[in-house]
């Protein structure tokens, strides 16, 4: 069974640009979570989607947005990139919503903003 | 504000020695508690979790953790570490079953041969 996949693996952008990151959950999983892992800050929760709806949002500005498609894959969009957006962006999926369902993580997308 | 604290940024132990990684949380009620491991090239993996019941929880790879309500702690332990345990370990909490997970900043474990 394939795990969570993310694309691209690496990305280099400049300040002010926009970026889209993609995540495909494990087959059968309906919930998708996005996290930002910046150096020294651990994982910061960004967004949680379940059944196409945004269920929860972390403490990030509105230029961080996303969506979940009918096939449960998800996109994370970041507008007006800033240097501090440089980080590893992790996607996770779970069988359903709620913490009783284990989150399985993808390998991440490494974003560098110059 | 809700928070998770991992006091040790780096820990070094010798192979075969015992290990304890500390985690403290600040919540009013008993949260849902997790430990994850992030190994190079292997992504983030759940080691164990505590929701209720027995306060000593067994996980994968020989790890265990003990929930201590009086100390607001959920420390991770392993009796004898292996070189393959070198990784970054994250403690995480959720306030209720439909809540997001809040992660600590992690503890990087180094193993001496």
- pLDDT single digits (tens) A27-42: 999 999 999 999 888 8
Comparing alpha-carbon positions, the chain A residue that sits nearest to B98 is: A98
Please, which residues 70-99 of chain A have a Cβ atom closer than 8 Å to chain B? Answer: 90, 92, 97-99
Comparing alpha-carbon positions, the chain B residue that sits nearest to A50 is: B98
CA-only gyration radius of chain A, Å: 13
- Tell me what percent of chain B is helix, strand and coil, each rounded to the nearest 5: 10, 55, 40
pLDDT band at B1 (very low <50, low <70, confident <90, very high): low
Say whether A41 and B105 touch across the interface (CB within 8 A): yes
B54-85 per-position pLDDT tens digit: 999 999 999 999 999 999 999 999 999 999 99
Provide the sign of the torsion angle of the four alpha carbons B83, A1, B100, A89, taken in this order: positive
Core vs surface per residue A24-51: b (16+ CB within 10 A) or e: bbbeebbbbbbbbbeeeebbbbbbbbbe
Say whether B103 and A44 touch across the interface (CB within 8 A): yes
Cβ(B109)–Cβ(B96) under 8 Å?
no
Position B34 pLDDT exceeds 70: yes
């Amino acid at each position: 069974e394939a795990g969570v996949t993310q694309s691209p693996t690496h990305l280099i952008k400049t300040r002010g640009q926009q970026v889209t990151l993609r995540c495909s959950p494990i087959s059968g999983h309906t919930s998708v979570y996005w996290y930002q892992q910046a150096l020294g800050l651990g994982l910061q929760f960004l967004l949680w989607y379940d059944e196409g709806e945004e269920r929860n949002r972390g403490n990030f500005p509105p230029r961080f947005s996303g969506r979940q498609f009918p096939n449960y894959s998800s996109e994370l969009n970041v507008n007006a990139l800033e240097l501090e957006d440089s980080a590893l962006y992790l996607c996770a999926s779970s069988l359903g919503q709620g913490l009783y369902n284990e989150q399985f993580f993808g390998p991440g997308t490494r974003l560098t903003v110059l | 504000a809700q928070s998770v604290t991992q006091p040790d940024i780096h820990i070094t132990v010798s192979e075969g020695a015992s290990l304890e990684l500390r985690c403290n949380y600040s919540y009013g009620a008993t949260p849902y508690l997790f430990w994850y491991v992030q190994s190079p090239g292997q992504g983030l993996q759940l080691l164990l979790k505590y929701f209720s019941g027995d306060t000593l929880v067994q996980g994968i790879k020989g790890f265990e953790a003990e929930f201590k309500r009086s100390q607001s702690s959920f420390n991770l332990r392993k009796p004898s570490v292996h070189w393959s345990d070198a990784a970054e370990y994250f403690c995480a909490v959720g306030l209720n079953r439909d809540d997001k997970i809040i992660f600590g900043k992690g503890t990087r474990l180094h193993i001496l041969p």
